[in-house]
Structure 1
Protein backbone atom coordinates (compact mmCIF):
# COMPACT_ATOMS: atom_id res chain seq x y z
CA UNK A 1 0.00 0.00 0.00
CA UNK A 2 1.27 3.43 -0.90
CA UNK A 3 0.51 6.04 1.77
CA UNK A 4 0.69 9.71 0.78
CA UNK A 5 0.09 12.93 2.67
CA UNK A 6 -1.90 15.58 0.82
CA UNK A 7 -3.20 18.99 1.80
CA UNK A 8 -6.42 20.71 0.76
CA UNK A 9 -6.60 21.13 -3.04
CA UNK A 10 -3.62 18.87 -3.63
CA UNK A 11 -4.11 15.84 -5.85
CA UNK A 12 -2.87 12.36 -6.67
CA UNK A 13 -2.61 11.04 -10.23
CA UNK A 14 -3.21 7.40 -11.11
CA UNK A 15 -1.94 6.74 -14.60
CA UNK A 16 -2.78 9.35 -17.21
CA UNK A 17 -6.56 9.36 -16.74
CA UNK A 18 -7.39 9.39 -13.02
CA UNK A 19 -6.94 12.24 -10.57
CA UNK A 20 -8.01 12.30 -6.92
CA UNK A 21 -8.11 15.74 -5.29
CA UNK A 22 -8.68 16.69 -1.67
CA UNK A 23 -11.58 19.14 -2.01
CA UNK A 24 -12.57 19.49 1.63
CA UNK A 25 -11.49 18.70 5.18
CA UNK A 26 -13.92 18.85 8.10
CA UNK A 27 -12.63 17.39 11.36
CA UNK A 28 -11.83 13.71 10.80
CA UNK A 29 -13.57 13.60 7.41
CA UNK A 30 -12.16 14.48 4.03
CA UNK A 31 -13.97 15.05 0.74
CA UNK A 32 -12.41 13.63 -2.38
CA UNK A 33 -13.01 14.78 -5.93
CA UNK A 34 -12.30 12.06 -8.50
CA UNK A 35 -11.80 12.74 -12.18
CA UNK A 36 -11.79 9.59 -14.33
CA UNK A 37 -13.00 8.42 -17.74
CA UNK A 38 -16.70 7.51 -17.94
CA UNK A 39 -15.98 3.83 -18.55
CA UNK A 40 -14.39 3.48 -15.09
CA UNK A 41 -16.86 2.68 -12.30
CA UNK A 42 -16.19 4.48 -9.02
CA UNK A 43 -17.91 3.32 -5.82
CA UNK A 44 -17.37 3.57 -2.09
CA UNK A 45 -15.88 0.26 -0.96
CA UNK A 46 -18.97 -0.80 1.00
CA UNK A 47 -21.17 -0.19 -2.06
CA UNK A 48 -18.72 -2.09 -4.28
CA UNK A 49 -18.78 -5.07 -1.90
CA UNK A 50 -22.61 -5.02 -1.85
CA UNK A 51 -22.67 -5.04 -5.67
CA UNK A 52 -20.23 -7.97 -5.74
CA UNK A 53 -22.36 -9.92 -3.24
CA UNK A 54 -25.54 -9.28 -5.26
CA UNK A 55 -23.77 -10.41 -8.44
CA UNK A 56 -22.55 -13.57 -6.71
CA UNK A 57 -26.07 -14.34 -5.48
CA UNK A 58 -27.57 -13.70 -8.91
CA UNK A 59 -25.04 -15.97 -10.61
CA UNK A 60 -25.73 -18.72 -8.06
CA UNK A 61 -29.47 -18.49 -8.74
CA UNK A 62 -28.78 -18.79 -12.47
CA UNK A 63 -26.54 -21.81 -11.90
CA UNK A 64 -29.15 -23.46 -9.68
CA UNK A 65 -31.86 -22.81 -12.28
CA UNK A 66 -29.77 -24.36 -15.05
CA UNK A 67 -29.18 -27.45 -12.90
CA UNK A 68 -32.93 -27.77 -12.26
CA UNK A 69 -33.73 -27.42 -15.96
CA UNK A 70 -31.17 -30.07 -16.91
CA UNK A 71 -32.80 -32.58 -14.55
CA UNK A 72 -36.06 -32.55 -16.56
Structure 2
Protein backbone atom coordinates (compact mmCIF):
# COMPACT_ATOMS: atom_id res chain seq x y z
CA UNK A 1 0.00 0.00 0.00
CA UNK A 2 1.28 3.43 -0.93
CA UNK A 3 0.82 5.97 1.88
CA UNK A 4 1.06 9.67 1.04
CA UNK A 5 0.64 12.84 3.05
CA UNK A 6 -1.37 15.62 1.45
CA UNK A 7 -2.63 18.99 2.67
CA UNK A 8 -5.83 20.82 1.82
CA UNK A 9 -6.06 21.63 -1.92
CA UNK A 10 -3.29 19.16 -2.80
CA UNK A 11 -3.97 16.26 -5.15
CA UNK A 12 -2.90 12.76 -6.06
CA UNK A 13 -3.03 11.55 -9.67
CA UNK A 14 -3.80 7.95 -10.59
CA UNK A 15 -2.80 7.39 -14.17
CA UNK A 16 -3.61 10.23 -16.57
CA UNK A 17 -7.31 10.57 -15.82
CA UNK A 18 -8.02 10.20 -12.10
CA UNK A 19 -7.36 13.03 -9.67
CA UNK A 20 -8.00 12.74 -5.95
CA UNK A 21 -8.03 16.14 -4.26
CA UNK A 22 -8.11 16.93 -0.54
CA UNK A 23 -11.03 19.35 -0.11
CA UNK A 24 -10.94 19.84 3.65
CA UNK A 25 -9.66 18.36 6.89
CA UNK A 26 -11.78 18.72 10.04
CA UNK A 27 -10.47 16.74 13.00
CA UNK A 28 -10.43 13.07 11.99
CA UNK A 29 -12.68 13.64 8.97
CA UNK A 30 -11.18 14.28 5.54
CA UNK A 31 -13.27 15.36 2.56
CA UNK A 32 -11.92 14.34 -0.80
CA UNK A 33 -12.96 15.08 -4.34
CA UNK A 34 -12.50 12.57 -7.13
CA UNK A 35 -12.32 13.50 -10.78
CA UNK A 36 -12.52 10.44 -13.01
CA UNK A 37 -13.93 9.52 -16.41
CA UNK A 38 -17.71 9.00 -16.34
CA UNK A 39 -17.31 5.43 -17.60
CA UNK A 40 -15.36 4.55 -14.45
CA UNK A 41 -17.43 3.47 -11.43
CA UNK A 42 -16.39 5.06 -8.13
CA UNK A 43 -17.88 3.67 -4.90
CA UNK A 44 -17.29 3.94 -1.17
CA UNK A 45 -15.68 0.66 -0.02
CA UNK A 46 -18.71 -0.48 2.00
CA UNK A 47 -20.99 0.04 -1.03
CA UNK A 48 -18.55 -1.79 -3.30
CA UNK A 49 -18.45 -4.73 -0.85
CA UNK A 50 -22.28 -4.84 -0.72
CA UNK A 51 -22.48 -4.89 -4.53
CA UNK A 52 -19.94 -7.73 -4.69
CA UNK A 53 -21.93 -9.74 -2.13
CA UNK A 54 -25.19 -9.21 -4.03
CA UNK A 55 -23.48 -10.34 -7.24
CA UNK A 56 -22.14 -13.43 -5.47
CA UNK A 57 -25.60 -14.29 -4.12
CA UNK A 58 -27.22 -13.70 -7.52
CA UNK A 59 -24.71 -16.03 -9.18
CA UNK A 60 -25.32 -18.68 -6.51
CA UNK A 61 -29.08 -18.31 -6.95
CA UNK A 62 -28.72 -18.62 -10.73
CA UNK A 63 -26.63 -21.78 -10.28
CA UNK A 64 -29.27 -23.19 -7.92
CA UNK A 65 -31.99 -22.55 -10.53
CA UNK A 66 -29.86 -24.20 -13.23
CA UNK A 67 -29.43 -27.29 -11.05
CA UNK A 68 -33.19 -27.42 -10.34
CA UNK A 69 -33.98 -27.04 -14.03
CA UNK A 70 -31.60 -29.90 -14.89
CA UNK A 71 -33.15 -32.11 -12.21
CA UNK A 72 -36.69 -31.43 -13.46
CA UNK A 73 -35.65 -32.02 -17.06
CA UNK A 74 -34.09 -35.36 -16.11
CA UNK A 75 -37.24 -36.41 -14.23
CA UNK A 76 -39.43 -35.45 -17.21
CA UNK A 77 -37.21 -37.44 -19.58
CA UNK A 78 -37.43 -40.48 -17.29
CA UNK A 79 -41.21 -40.11 -17.08
CA UNK A 80 -41.53 -39.82 -20.88
CA UNK A 81 -39.39 -42.95 -21.26
CA UNK A 82 -41.75 -45.12 -19.16
Match for residue 66 of structure 2? Answer: 66
Query: Unpaired runs of 5+ in structure 2?
Result: 73-82
**Structure having greater relative contact order (Cα 8 Å, sep ≥ 6):** 1
Q: What root-mean-square deviation, in Å, do the aligned CA atoms of Structure 1 and Structure 2 show?
A: 0.5
CA distance in 2, matches of 1:24, 1:7: 8
* 1:35 matched to 2:35: yes
Q: CA deviation at 1:24?
A: 1.1
Question: Which is higher, the Rg of structure 1 or of structure 2?
Answer: 2
Q: Once superposed, which parts of structure 1, at least 4 consecutive aligned residues long, lie more than 6 Å away?
A: none
TM-score, normalising length from structure 2? 0.86
Match for residue 47 of structure 1? Answer: 47
Alignment length, in residue pairs?
Answer: 72
Q: For residues 15-62 of structure 1, what are the alpha-carbon distances to aligned partners after superposition, in whole Å with 9 as ceiling and x for unaligned?
A: 000000000111100001000001111111111001000100011000
Q: CA deviation at 1:9?
A: 0.3
TM-score, normalising length from structure 1? 0.97
